[in-house]
């Protein structure tokens, strides 16, 4: 999709995830990558040269202050999402942030309030929601083919990152629930229209990373919906295999998205009813491309957007509740240094 006027995007950091989550989608949509800054200017320059970013700036603050940048993309470490999202909103910029939007619910509430004050568009990058794979699960519930919703299972597992990875750091707001489990929780919450409302936490349990007693290696949460359905949201960041599945079980059948977070790798939805089993393939176009298309359509044409700062706060509140129930502290927030 090409908009009449391309988005003008500034990128914080030179993270490799940006190649999949932003660079490719921006190229597909005809958008401009106006500026980038990283911890070292050399890394930023290499990123800009490889991906066609128009200019390299000296700091994240310079990207936010650039008058030509209208959208700030924030893929930094978890602990830097909240403070730089707040800085971008204070500068009157639209924000597309990687999840989670903040380190804890208190910070997410400040982001919500800052977005309302700025009057700009804030979105947390739950890209899976825009792909036909997830849309199909919702359609199957809406059509009645699966009957009334009875149970939801979301599973997010992956092999362990290296011990030095920031996802194992409490000060950097790491942990399995922050990296993986927020998808599990958010996906369950999207089923509220067919479940009588959003889920509440019943209980949670987890295990700590060896040598990091306050950082969760795995965490399981049990949820309950107002209409009587139950939910199981699981995540494990030191598992033997990758698994990112989303199963909805109704009174007449069930459906599973085999990889709802990476549908570009596996776009199958398997449907089982008394009439039999079928597999639907929904297309391997990147969920990130669908996401940026939707974001641009909202900014340029006022098209509906299902994610905002209030949704991000709801997710972060549930994350904090899970941490407390499982015996972990919510993640600490990070303060940016005050310019001297």
pLDDT in tens, the chain (340 residues): 444 699 999 999 999 899 999 999 999 999 999 999 999 999 999 999 999 999 999 999 999 999 999 999 999 999 999 999 999 999 999 999 999 999 999 999 999 999 999 999 999 999 999 999 999 999 999 999 999 999 999 999 999 999 999 999 999 999 999 999 999 999 999 999 999 999 999 999 999 999 999 999 999 999 999 999 999 999 999 999 999 999 999 999 999 999 999 999 999 999 999 999 999 999 999 999 999 999 999 999 999 999 999 999 999 999 999 999 999 999 999 988 766 4
Q: Indicate yes or no: pTM above 0.85.
A: yes
Peptide linkage before 100 cis (omega within 30 of 0):
yes
Nearest to 154 by CA among 183, 131, 194, 126: 183
pLDDT at 295: 98
pLDDT score for 2:
46
Contacts for 42 with CB less than 8 Å, ≥ 6 apart: none
What are the residues facing 32 on neighbouring strands? Answer: 8
Print the SS3 string covering 73-119. EECCCHHHHHHHHHHHHHCCCEEEECCCCCCCHHHHHHHHHHHHHHC
Nearest to 126, CA basis, from 94, 83, 96, 90: 96
CA distances to 204, 261, 270 from 245, in Å: 19, 8, 11
207 burial via Cβ count (<10 Å: 0-12, 13-18, 19+) = middle
Q: What residues are paired with 276 via a beta bridge?
A: 273
- Would you state the pLDDT for residue 339? 61
Enter the tokens of residue 168.
């194992």
Contact 339, 183 (CB under 8 A): no
Domains in the chain, ordered, with CATH?
8-127+290-308 (3.40.50.720), 131-285 (3.30.360.10)
Pinpoint the alpha helices (H) of 52-80: 60-65
Question: Could you give the angle at which helices 81-90 and 105-118 cross, rounded to 10 degrees?
Answer: 20
């Amino acid at each position: 999709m090409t908009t009449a006027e391309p988005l003008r995007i500034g990128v914080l950091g030179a993270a490799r995830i940006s190649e999949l989550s932003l660079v490719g989608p921006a190229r597909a949509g005809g958008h401009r990558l106006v500026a980038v800054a990283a911890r070292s200017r050399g890394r930023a320059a290499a990123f800009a040269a490889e991906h066609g970013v128009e200019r390299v700036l000296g700091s994240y603050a310079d990207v936010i202050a650039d008058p030509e940048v209208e959208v700030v993309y924030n893929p930094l470490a978890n602990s830097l999402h909240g403070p730089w999202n707040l800085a971008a909103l204070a500068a009157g910029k639209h924000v597309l942030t990687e999840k989670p939007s903040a380190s804890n619910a208190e910070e997410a509430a400040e982001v919500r309030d800052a977005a309302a004050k700025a009057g700009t568009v804030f979105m947390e990058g739950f890209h899976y929601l825009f792909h036909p794979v997830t849309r199909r699960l919702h359609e199957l519930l809406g059509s009645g083919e699966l009957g009334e919703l009875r149970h939801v299972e979301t599973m997010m597992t992956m092999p362990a990152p290296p011990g030095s990875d920031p996802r194992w750091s409490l000060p950097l707001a790491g942990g399995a629930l922050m990296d993986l489990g927020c998808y599990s929780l958010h996906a369950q919450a999207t089923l509220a229209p067919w479940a009588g409302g959003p889920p509440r936490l019943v209980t949670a349990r987890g295990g700590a990373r060896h040598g990091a007693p306050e950082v969760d290696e795995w965490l399981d949460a049990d949820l309950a919906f107002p209409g009587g359905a139950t939910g199981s949201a699981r995540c494990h960041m030191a598992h033997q295999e990758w698994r990112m599945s989303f199963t909805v079980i109704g009174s007449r059948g069930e459906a599973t998205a085999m990889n709802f977070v990476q549908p570009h790798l596996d776009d199958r939805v398997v449907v089982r009813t008394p009439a039999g089993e079928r597999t639907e393939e929904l297309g391997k176009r990147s969920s990130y491309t669908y996401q940026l298309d939707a974001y641009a359509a909202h900014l340029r044409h006022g098209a509906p957007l299902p994610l905002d700062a209030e949704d991000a706060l709801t997710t972060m509140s549930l994350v904090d509740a899970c941490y407390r129930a499982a015996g972990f502290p919510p993640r600490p927030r990070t303060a940016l240094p005050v310019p001297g």
